[in-house]
Amino acid sequence: MGYRVEYKDVGLKDYKETWELQEKYFSVLVNRKTGERKGGTEAGSPLNGTLIFVEHPHVYTLGKSGSENNLLLDFIQLSAKDASFYRIDRGGDITYHGPGQIVGYPIFDLEAIGIGLKEYIHKLEDVIIRSIEPFGLKGERLDGGTGVWLEPYVKGRARKICAIGVRASRYITMHGFAFNVNTDLSYFGYINPCGFTDKGVTSLARETGTVQDIEKIKIIVREEMKEVFGLELIKQAD
């Protein structure tokens, strides 16, 4: 039996609301784990993970080590673009979330799965690399930059299709990946994505020349999550 995970697709949801939802599941998992180790009332409780899929309204998020100089808009201009901004507690620099993008938030216990943080990020990259392969795209890694890239070492051609930024405490993870499917890429023009000034951003729709059925792409990504991480997915109770 694999690592048992509750799956929840929350559709289009405000970033702050989803952040609070993540925190709730994260705290439950940390508390269960702490209780088990102390032999308290949570001892022996199933340490299930949670996998959230979501699309966000236009929002920019900045990781704890990032620079606000990589946001090229002031707050008045943000409002004009119907976008919001949050400084958050994940790793990485600045990125954009918006409609047409599959954002995945795995709240997993890496200790229970039997992997470390570096391998976890590697596996998240594998999920997206495998998800885009059927579309004739070769996803790759870039030294010094997490996420999934196309032609990362071809001068003037390197472009990111999926950003990754995570937080981990007591081996429990939150935040995750942002996979550009039908994303309006013009919003990336207002930032230095992930701190890079010499590399581009792309989407599945741009690379294939076709607007994709995002619900079908979610199924592909979800199935690859199951395969790569050895998950047993169950329906999340409302």
Q: Residue 42: which pLDDT band, with cuts at 50, 70 and 90? A: very low
Q: Could you give the CA distance from residue 36 to residue 21 in angstroms, rounded to a whole number?
A: 23
Statement: residue 174 has pLDDT above 70? yes
Other beta carbons within 10 Å of 81: 13
pLDDT at position 79: 62
Who has greater pLDDT, 1 or 169? 169
Q: Residue 87: which pLDDT band, with cuts at 50, 70 and 90? A: confident
Residues listed for the chain: 238
- Reference 236, options 53, 99, 57; nearest CA is 53
**67-74: long-range contacts (C-beta < 8 A, 24 or more apart)?**
67/93, 67/94, 67/195, 70/94, 70/191, 70/192, 70/195, 71/190, 71/191, 72/190, 72/191, 72/192, 73/190
The CATH number that domain 3-235 falls under is 3.30.930.10
**Contact present, 30 and 133 (Cβ < 8 Å):** no
pLDDT digits (tens, 9 = 90+) for 196-215: 556 789 999 999 999 999 99
pLDDT at position 44: 44
Amino acid identity, position 110: L
Other beta carbons within 10 Å of 151: 14
Provide φ and ψ at 34, rounded to 5°: -60, -45
Residue 194 a catalytic site member:
yes
Overall pTM surpassing 0.75 (yes/no): yes
pLDDT digits (tens, 9 = 90+) for 138-166: 999 999 888 999 999 998 899 999 999 99
pLDDT at position 226: 97
Other beta carbons within 10 Å of 9: 15
What are the C-alpha distances in Å from 207 to residues 45, 62, 142, 169, 180?
45, 26, 19, 36, 11
> Would you kindly state where each structural domain of the chain is located, as residue ranges?
3-235
- Reference 87, options 77, 75, 99; nearest CA is 75
The catalytic position among 150, 166, 194, 228 is 194
Q: Could you give the CA distance from residue 11 to residue 6 in angstroms, rounded to a whole number?
A: 16
